[in-house]
Amino acid sequence: MIDYLANPSRFFRITNFLLPWLMGLLITLTIIGIYFALFDSPEDLVQGSAVRIMYVHVPSAWLSIFSYLLLSICSFFFIVWRHPLADILSRSIAPVGALFSLLTLLTGSIWGRPMWGTWWVWDARLTSMLILFIFFLGYIALSNAFEKNERGSRPAALLAIVGSINLPIVKFSVDWWNTLHQPASIIRTGGISIDQSMLVPLIIMTLAFHTFFILVVVLRAHSILIERKVYHLKVLGKI
Amino acid sequence: MKSKMSSIFYRELKVQNKSLKDPLFVIGVYLSLLLIFPLSLGPSSNLLKNFSPAIIWTCSLITFLTAIEKFFISDISEGYLEQLFLSNLPLSVIVLIKALCHWISVGFPLIILFPLISIFLNLPLNLLWIICFSLFLGTLSFSLIGIMGAALVLGAKKSNVIVILIIIPLTIPILIFGISSTLFCLEGLIPYSTLYLQCMSLSFLLAISPIVTSSAIKIYLE
């Protein structure tokens, strides 16, 4: 199935067809998620209504880690099999992942100001998320640093693979170091420790964020595909 | 094979230290950077004592990163690297020899003269050799990461800015472990755990960095 989808023109046609449906799914999930997150879920005993930032903060964090994982997998495919679509997907994922990690840091900072009393603290989870953001920036810088844009794909792919060492550090940093940030309550040994009424809006918001991620990555991939087609047509003298 | 490796090793050493003054230049760079901190923190010994591990490691990192992006450029413009690529010595071995020579030219003078430098920061002298050992582990890691960054930006525009953006996130764990080791040493305890962590990161880099660097050089040479 991956081989079938891996032809760039076929990828373009199929995703072009799926785009309106993705948009519809996104709007539905977002409306349901926001309703549950803002109105139907319980308040926290200590934090009051401010806990509702969690429904944006946690999905952004999950999605930034997921996007770096996807980035390193696509980069690995590109280095090993030299598939151009893997490179296009990596270049589409990088800015989106960078923005999600920035959003995690900003929403976490806004949440931390009333709760912890500080906008920023240099503990393990925040620092490793900041390092993840800088890794994304390094990838974007390297992939666009060359005269001919495609020359930068392979060094940037190597960089993404080397940087994937950071992922377990981000995930497990709250367990390894003494930290102010709350430890994991969902993806942990011993099962889920969060209540059902908060878990459902969280899952719906996560699905909404994932749909948004797929939508934006596909749109960016389309624009890179069209850009490359135009460049090659110009080189061939057809335009 | 062994004679090839040793001839490459001696050639690299001679190229990177054209005269006997080159190690002194490295020491000069380190001291100039070191000079900034007492002048900006004020010479009262309290702040300086608290910051001295960070000062030592930050200055050594910046000394290693000076002009690192130009590491391969002269070899490539002379065609030397292509000739080595065509020999039956694997490129990762050649890169490892170059990294070791880079460390010998930049890191080794630093560590030999470190006891003299520690006088500037008023460090207690009893565990100084352990600080030198942890500096050895850390600076060798900096060399390996620096070579990797230099190979990744071969041929890029604005490579001097991008190489810093790439290298610094990769060096952050090594800085953290090294500064913890130094902090323990300054309090009089031998930092076994952080020294193990430094050895772990060095062995990881010894395995990964030559492979990535040689792949990046092959990408450039195509």
Residue spans per domain, chain B: 2-221
CB B92 within 8 A of CB B210: yes
CB A162 within 8 A of CB B166: no
Least confident of A192-196, B80-84, B196-200, B208-212: A192-196
A224 touches chain B (CB under 8 A): no
Which range of B1-10, B77-86, B91-100 scores highest in mean pLDDT? It is: B91-100
Least confident of A175-189, B118-132, B144-158, B170-184: A175-189
Is it the case that residue A53 has pLDDT exceeding 80?
yes
With CA atoms as reference, the chain A residue closest to B208 would be: A162
**Cα separation of B181 and B195, whole Å?**
6
Domain that holds residue A176: 25-181+200-235
Distance spanning both ends of chain B, measured CA to CA: 26
With CA atoms as reference, the chain B residue closest to A149 would be: B156
Is it the case that residue A1 has pLDDT exceeding 60?
no
Average pLDDT, chain B: 89
- For the record, the structure tokens of B201 come out as 């990161």
Bin A44: left if φ > 0, else alpha if -120 < ψ < 50, else beta. Answer: beta
Band of pLDDT at residue A100, cut at 50, 70 and 90: very high
Nearest to B222 by CA among A153, A81, A183, A107: A153
Is it the case that residue A81 has pLDDT exceeding 80?
yes
Least confident of A104-108, B44-48, B184-188: B44-48
CB neighbours of residue A148 within 10 Å: 8
Contacts 24+ apart (CB under 8 A), B186-191: B186/B49, B186/B52, B186/B53, B186/B123, B186/B124, B186/B127, B186/B131, B188/B124, B188/B126, B188/B127, B190/B127, B190/B130, B191/B130, B191/B134
Is it the case that residue A178 has pLDDT exceeding 80?
no
- DSSP state at residue B107: H
- For the record, the structure tokens of A224 come out as 């890179």
The whole-number pLDDT of residue A220 equals 95
**Cα separation of B27 and B63, whole Å?**
9
CA gyration radius, chain B: 18
Bin A217: left if φ > 0, else alpha if -120 < ψ < 50, else beta. Answer: alpha
Is it the case that residue A5 has pLDDT exceeding 90?
no
Which residues does chain B have within 8 Å of residue A166's beta carbon, measured at their own beta carbons? 169
Q: What is the mean pLDDT of residues B55-76?
A: 90
Q: Helices (H), strands (E): how many in chain A?
A: 8, 0
Is it the case that residue B172 has pLDDT exceeding 80?
yes
Full DSSP string of B4-43 = HHHHHHHHHHHHH-SSTTHHHHHHHHHHHHHHHHHHHH-S
Which residues does chain A have within 8 Å of residue B157's beta carbon, measured at their own beta carbons? 145-147
Band of pLDDT at residue B171, cut at 50, 70 and 90: very high
Q: Which of residues 149-168 of B touch A (CB under 8 A)?
A: 152-159, 161-162, 165-166, 168
Q: What is the mean pLDDT of residues B112-128?
A: 83
Q: How many domains, chain A?
A: 1
Assigned domain for A9 exists: no
Candidates A137, A146, A158; nearest CB to B165 = A137
- For the record, the structure tokens of B161 come out as 């800015």
| CB-CB under 8 Å, A152 with B156 | yes
| pLDDT tens profile A113-155 | 888 888 887 877 888 889 999 999 999 999 998 888 888 899 9
The whole-number pLDDT of residue B216 equals 93
Residues 6+ apart with CB under 8 A from B151: B72, B95, B212, B213, B214, B216, B217, B220
The whole-number pLDDT of residue A183 equals 65
Nearest to A76 by CA among A162, A203, A165, A194: A162
Assigned domain for A11 exists: no
Residues 6+ apart with CB under 8 A from B137: B178, B195, B198, B199, B202
ipTM score of complex: 0.87
Interface test with B, best of A76, A153, A154 (most B CBs within 10 A): A154
The whole-number pLDDT of residue A181 equals 67
| CB-CB under 8 Å, A138 with B162 | yes
Band of pLDDT at residue A196, cut at 50, 70 and 90: confident
**Cα separation of A89 and A103, whole Å?**
21
Largest Cα span, chain A: 68
Tokens 């209504």 map to which residue?
Answer: A49
Least confident of A4-13, A31-40, B47-56: A4-13
CB neighbours of residue A183 within 10 Å: 10
- For the record, the structure tokens of A7 come out as 């032809």
Tokens 């959003």 map to which residue?
Answer: A103
| pLDDT tens profile A203-218 | 999 999 999 999 999 9
| CB-CB under 8 Å, B219 with A155 | yes
State the count of interchain CB pairs (< 8 A) between A and B: 57
